[in-house]
């Protein structure tokens, strides 16, 4: 199975390589099945790591907010904690919302 980083790399190699062109002419369906442009498993792994990291940041920030509320009930909540919590919540929502493809 041939692997290319992107479609541009495939296009350049296809234009310059006569063997690739002949393989395509002989059996186009098999040729297309052999080509892979990226590893989707790696993409899914990286995506799950990002989701995990953002969720951990959200949990830690919310825990810090709860601790702050009980330790210092009369003081106002630090805006840094509120902004980090809302940003990580927004990131999780944005990442987990299905795309409209």
Q: Where are the domains of the chain?
A: 2-36, 40-96
- pTM reported for the whole predicted model: 0.58
Residue 74 dihedral angles phi and psi, to the nearest 5°: -90, -15
Q: Which pLDDT band, with edges at 50, 70 and 90, does 2 fall under?
A: low
Most confident of the following: 7-21, 41-55, 73-87: 73-87
**61: number of Cβ within 10 Å:** 20
Q: Residue 68: its pLDDT value, please?
A: 94
Instruction: Write the pLDDT tens digit of every residue in 24-77.
Output: 888 888 877 777 655 555 677 888 899 999 999 999 999 999 999 999 999 999
């Amino acid at each position: 199975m041939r692997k290319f980083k992107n479609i541009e790399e495939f296009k350049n190699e296809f234009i310059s390589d006569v063997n690739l062109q002949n393989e395509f002419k002989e059996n186009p369906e098999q040729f297309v099945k052999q080509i892979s442009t990226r590893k989707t498993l790696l993409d899914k792994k990286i995506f799950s790591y990002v989701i995990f990291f953002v969720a951990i940041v959200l949990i830690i920030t919310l825990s810090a907010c709860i601790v702050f509320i009980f330790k210092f009930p009369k003081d106002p909540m630090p805006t840094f904690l509120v902004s980090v919590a809302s940003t990580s919540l927004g990131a999780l929502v944005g990442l987990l919302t299905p795309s409209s493809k």
